[in-house]
Amino acid sequence: MPSCFWKATAIFTREGTDGARQVETRGLVAAGFTHGDSRAGDPDLHTHIAVANKVQTRRGKWLSLYGTVLHHYAVAASEAYNTALEHHLVERLGVRFVDTGRGSGRRTVREIDGVDEMLCERWSHRRRDIEARTNELVAHFTTARGQPPTRKETLALKQRAIWRHAH
């Protein structure tokens, strides 16, 4: 999506009593940091985008970014970035991307076609650690409550496992 979409849709600040008035800005300041591996040291090309919390109104006043609106569009922004990156890699390197499943109930992920699944498994230490911890939490939940967690409860347990792994 063109950058003007994000500016017109997601980049605002607020003014007035209790920040009641949403105000357009002149843009956004952000920096991208490309990483080649995961926290576990596995190959994992990805980019982090740090967004400055200050924006300038059209009248030149510097105020805090209205993060609620930007947060609402975070997934869309990430998908737009991933699509652009995939297109760049196809054009630049001639690779082909395919949808890959990660098992029952999991979202589809785009991967480079031809990469051996065994390599993906071997280079997924962090995911395996998180899955093992999630399974422990699910087992504990089931024992404590006498029934397995719902899908929503399982997702919350997985988030706990991810948070623990990251800290």
CA diameter of the chain: 61
| Per-residue pLDDT tens digits for 64-117 | 998 888 888 888 888 888 899 999 999 999 999 998 876 555 678 888 999 888
Residue among 44, 110, 54 nearest 79 (CA) = 110
Residues 70, 25: Cα–Cα separation, whole Å: 13
| Per-residue pLDDT tens digits for 2-37 | 455 555 567 888 888 887 888 888 888 889 999 888
Q: SS3 for 115?
A: coil
| Per-residue pLDDT tens digits for 123-147 | 888 888 888 999 999 999 999 999 9
Mean pLDDT of 48-73: 90
